[in-house]
Structure formats: C-alpha cells, structure tokens
Structure 1
Amino acid sequence: MRKWLILLCAPLILAVVNLAIWQNETLIEHGEILFLELAPVDPRSLMQGDYMALRFAMADAIHQQLPKQEQHLDGQVTVQLDPQRRASLVTLDQQQALAEDQLRLQYRVRNGRIKFATNAFFFQEGTGSMYEQARYGLFRVGSKGQLILTHLVDAELQKLGQSKLLQPAMQ
C-alpha cells in the first residue's frame, strides 16, 4: 500500500516543483525591471563566506508607516519608478489604482525586519570583492508584486559580477 502511495505522490510533487520553477523562470524573463536602493549593513557582516547580507533603504520608510509592534506580516507597497526605474515608496498599498510608472511590491515582516524577496545575495567563492560597490538590487517584478533579485548593480546601475548563460558542453 505504501508503495502505491509513493508512486501516486511522486508525480504530484514533481509537478508542483516544476510549476514553481516555470513560474520563477517566467518572472525572470518577462517581469518588469526595477532597482531598490541598498542600505548600509554592519560592515563586519557585509561579507560572510560566499554571500552578502542585504538591507534595503525602503525598509526604513515602510517601518515608519507600520504599527509599532508588528513582528509578522505580509503586505504590499506602492512604489514610483523614476526614469532609470529606481523605486521610491509612495504608500502602503490599499489596492488603489496605480498611476503611470507605479508598481506594487510584496514585502514581508519577519522578527521586526522588512524583507523584499531575500535578505542575502549569494556569489561564487572568491568573487566577493566584485560586489563591494553594490548600491542597488536589480529585481524582476511580476503582475502581483512578486519579486526576484537577479543582480546587484553599482551607483551607475551597471551589473556587478558575472552572468553566464548556460551553454551546451563542447564535444
């Protein structure tokens, strides 16, 4: 009986995982681009191993508008994009109509800290110095405000690090 249960559940689990992968790939390929400004973090924890701890400047502005004791919350904010697609906070989202160059972004409050998609950027071992000039996170945004961090960029919005396309192995 257990064998049949496993045989029935395995395809379902694989379908769910592949659907999530497909949704993320679609978001990366077709999502709108925007930049969120990075805020300083404790320099001792900026580079820990093969990742960079991230904090975003917009998080402070959101914190000021939230109830003081909020420790666990999922919400959305409305942001305005400048001509370079850098986002600035307009308001906590009330499902109001969006003006031109405005988007909704999802955020989470966990343990009193605001997070947009992630709070860390992972990179290849030994390449951390490439990211020391990071000033913005480059995100792809979906129609419901879901975010995926794809790159870190410098003050001139130039991508940092290496982006390699997967290529077939040479035969």
Structure 2
Amino acid sequence: MAKYGVALVAALILLVVNASIWQKERVLANGKTVYLALAPVDPRSLMQGDYMRLRFALEEHIRAHLPTPPPDSQDGYVVVKLNAQQLAEFERLSPTLPSLPDTQQLALQYRIRQGQIKFATNAFFFEEGQADTYAQAKYGEFKVADNGELLLSDLRGENLTVLSKTRL
C-alpha cells in the first residue's frame, strides 16, 4: 500500500512541475514583450562563471516612490508605459494588479525582500565562453503574462541588438 502512496505523490509532483513549465512556456510564446534598461552592477561581480548579475534602472524609480526606509518585504506592481521600441518607462506604483485601458501600459510584478527590489530574476545564465558577448548588454528582454509576471527571455545590446548567436 505504501508503494502506491509514494507513486501517487511522485505523480502529483510531476504533474505540478510540468504544469508550471507549460505555463511558463505559454508566457514565453504569447506574453507581451517589454525591454527594461539595465543598471550598472559592481564590475567585480559582473561575471561569475557563466552568468551575469542583473539590476534594472526601473528599480531606482520604484525606490524613489517608496517610503524611507523601504519596507523589508512587499509585493506590488509598477505601471510602465511602452514607447515605440517597447522600452518600459515608469509611470506609477500600484499595490494590486491595476486595470489598464491604455494598450501601451503594462503592470509589472515586483517584490521587495530584505529591502531589495526584485523583478523576475537578478541573474542571466549563458553558454560557456559567451561572457564578452553578454558584457555588452544594455537591456533585458522580458515576456509579460496577463498577471504581471515577468520572464527574462534574453539580453539585448545597444539599440536593442540581439546578442545571442542562437537568436540571429
């Protein structure tokens, strides 16, 4: 009987994991594209192995609209307006997912943990030997779900040029 219980739990775990993967694949395929400008990071920590630490310029706009000192933990949405190139420009903060009638606006989910503002990720992983290519990154390319969830899909260079050789 215990074997069946273990098999059932394993099957449920696989079902949940696969559903999560399917959902993220749908966002990557169908989500709205938005570009967030990268902010400088400590150059001593820029490249560590085959990933790059990321920080976004939008974080400074969010920080400027938070109380001082910022909360230790908070979830919310930053409303951005997309310009002609789909670059995000700060408009306002919202504690809940806002209704946005303007199709050029997006609500992007953010969270604050231990006083640090976080978007989808703070790192970008790439193929071994591609550090010099990604050191030119100026923008993060994100896909945005209807609920404001962001998935980092790539990094872009100056003028939104594609950096990865696999996406040419």
What TM-score, normalized by structure 2, do the two folds share?
0.92
**Two-structure CA RMSD over aligned residues (Å):** 1.3
Q: For structure 2, which runs of at least 5 residues remain unmatched after alignment?
A: none
The farther-off stretch of 77-86 and 94-103 is 94-103
- In the other structure, the counterpart of 1:61 is 61
2:135 aligned with 1:127, yes or no? no
State whether residues 75 and 109 of structure 2, in contact with CA within 8 Å, keep that contact through their aligned partners in structure 1. yes
Count of aligned pairs: 164
Match of residue 16 from structure 2: 16
Distance across 1 between alignment mates of 2:55 and 2:62 = 13
Distance 2:51 2:158 in 1: 20
Write the letter of the residue equivalent to 1:162: K
Taking only the aligned residue pairs, the percentage that are identical comes to 48
Structure 1 residue 163 displacement after superposition: 2.5
Name the stretch that deviates more: 144-153 or 86-95: 86-95
**Alpha-carbon distance change, 98 to 66 in structure 1, aligned in 2, over 3 angstroms:** farther
CA distance in structure 2 between the partners assigned to 1:63 and 1:84 by the alignment: 25
Residue in 2 that maps onto 1:154: 157
TM-score w.r.t. the length of structure 1 is 0.91
- Supply the AA of the counterpart residue of 2:121: T
Q: How does 1:88-167 map to 2 (within 5 A)?
A: 88-93=89-94, 95-163=98-166
Question: Where does residue 40 of structure 1 map in the other structure?
Answer: 40
Instruction: Return the offset for 1:98.
Output: 3.8
Shift of 1:96: 4.8
* Aligned-residue offset at 1:69: 3.4
Q: Which runs of 5+ in 1 are unaligned?
A: 165-171
Between 1:90-99 and 1:76-85, the stretch displaced more is 90-99
